[in-house]
Amino acid sequence: MQTSDAVETPINRILIANRGEIAVRVMQSCKELGIKTVAVYSTADRNMPHVRMADDAVEIGPPEANSSYLNIDRIIDACHQTGADAVHPGYGFLSENAQFAQRLAEKGITFIGPRPETMHQMGDKIRARQLMEANGVPVVPGFAPGAEQISMDTFRTEANRIGYPVMIKASAGGGGRGMRVVASEKDLAEAIDSARREAANAFGDDTIFMEKFVQAPRHIEIQVFGDRHGNIVHLFERECSIQRRHQKIIEESPSPALDDATRTIMADAAVKAARAVNYEGAGTVEFIYSDVDQSFFFLEMNTRLQVEHPVTELVTNRDLVAE
């Protein structure tokens, strides 16, 4: 298991800051590695399988996630109560929360994942886009002004430069929220206002940017791993083009769309992206890909173990949690 500590520290007891399938999945690998596990649970989840499977378990609050699985103080208290020296965040909840990783580091508890600054960099889609551009990773043509106030006239000018249709995106977005496709100039102002409102409600940040809308693309992601010594490797791709409302339905590997040359170029770009932020641990670099001209563009990076990681495990015969 890759950790964000600067020095090699043996791990004896891991608290899994999650529930359900991913908590059980992490515990299975921990047992094979001879590492003790700690479960946390809300009052509604006391009889869940992950609670019964763990070596120790701590109740951390009521059913509402904000008072339990998203409550950083209670999770840190559970670490101190059980002597856990590391935390695996799983996916969802606090898995991409840089503040959580920073708080654990301040308490001397290992966060199994990337460094807080890496999570900050890749969690801001505008900043991530700028980093990728600076490091030679292809990005979709667009306009990313940052948090500064931009006039609607400027957005109109930039949309005409990029060419319709365009996509409005929330800088702090995820899960399809804060996204709008705009087919023509008459719809631009309403789409921007709507995307900003949704982003503010969902993420507390109404910063948006604009990109060329790539029509009928494939969605391909590359599994990467990095260590604290700067070594980055990839474990090939997963294709997740079949989606509903920007949520993945089918994940397959290898992608039937990629020839060997394109696969190599895309994997090299993913490694370059991870190296740009000195990535540590398991992560996924996502691209959109055009069948028409075999072009591809950086979409985002997930700074955690993804839900879909078992597909890569089946292809490579590697335990990504244990790695």
125 within some domain: no
What is the arithmetic mean of pLDDT over 244-259?
94
Q: Are residues 152 and 222 in the same domain?
A: no
Among 112, 130, 160, the domain boundary falls at 112
Catalytic residues: 304
Q: Are residues 38 and 68 in the same domain?
A: yes
Closest listed residue to residue 38, CA positions, set 74, 72, 85: 85
> Above 90 in pLDDT, residue 5?
no
Distances (CA, A) of 71 to 18, 53, 76, 203, 316: 11, 22, 9, 17, 36
In the chain, % of residues over pLDDT 90: 89
In the chain, % of residues over pLDDT 70: 97
33 within some domain: yes
Residues 143/167, Cβ–Cβ less than 8 Å: no
Q: Are residues 32 and 86 in the same domain?
A: yes
Q: Are residues 221 and 194 in the same domain?
A: no
Q: Are residues 47 and 79 in the same domain?
A: yes
126 within some domain: no
* pLDDT, position 286: 97
Confidence of residue 8 (pLDDT cuts 50, 70, 90): low
| d(C-alpha 267, C-alpha 103), whole Å | 33
Q: Are residues 160 and 220 in the same domain?
A: no
Task: Give the angle subtended at the CA of 242 by the CAs of 236 and 247, to the nearest 5°.
Answer: 95
> Above 90 in pLDDT, residue 216?
no
Dump pLDDT digits (tens) for 82-134: 999 999 999 999 999 999 999 999 999 999 999 999 999 999 999 999 999 99
What is the arithmetic mean of pLDDT over 33-59?
98
Dump pLDDT digits (tens) for 303-314: 999 999 999 999
Dump pLDDT digits (tens) for 140-149: 999 998 777 8
Q: Give the CATH number for residue 86.
A: 3.40.50.20
With b meaning 16 or more CB within 10 Å and e meaning fewer, what string describes 201-237? Answer: ebbebbbbbbbbbbeebbbbbbbbbbebeeebebbbb
Domains in the chain: how many in total? 3
Q: Are residues 106 and 25 in the same domain?
A: yes
227 within some domain: yes
32 within some domain: yes
262 within some domain: yes
Confidence of residue 3 (pLDDT cuts 50, 70, 90): low
> Above 50 in pLDDT, residue 6?
no
Residues 224/284, Cβ–Cβ less than 8 Å: yes
Q: Are residues 28 and 78 in the same domain?
A: yes
Average pLDDT, the chain: 94
Confidence of residue 1 (pLDDT cuts 50, 70, 90): low
Show the domain range for 47: 13-112
Q: Give the CATH number for residue 285.
A: 3.30.470.20
| d(C-alpha 248, C-alpha 54), whole Å | 30
Q: Are residues 255 and 201 in the same domain?
A: no
323 within some domain: no
Q: Are residues 204 and 236 in the same domain?
A: no
What is the arithmetic mean of pLDDT over 266-284?
97
Q: Are residues 70 and 57 in the same domain?
A: yes
178 within some domain: yes
Among 212, 230, 247, the domain boundary falls at 212
What's the predicted TM-score (pTM) here? 0.88
Q: Give the CATH number for residue 184.
A: 3.30.1490.20
What is the arithmetic mean of pLDDT over 222-242?
97
Q: Are residues 62 and 98 in the same domain?
A: yes
Among 154, 182, 212, the domain boundary falls at 212
- Among the residue ranges 2-16, 23-37, 158-172, 196-210, the one predicted with the least confidence is 2-16
* pLDDT, position 176: 82
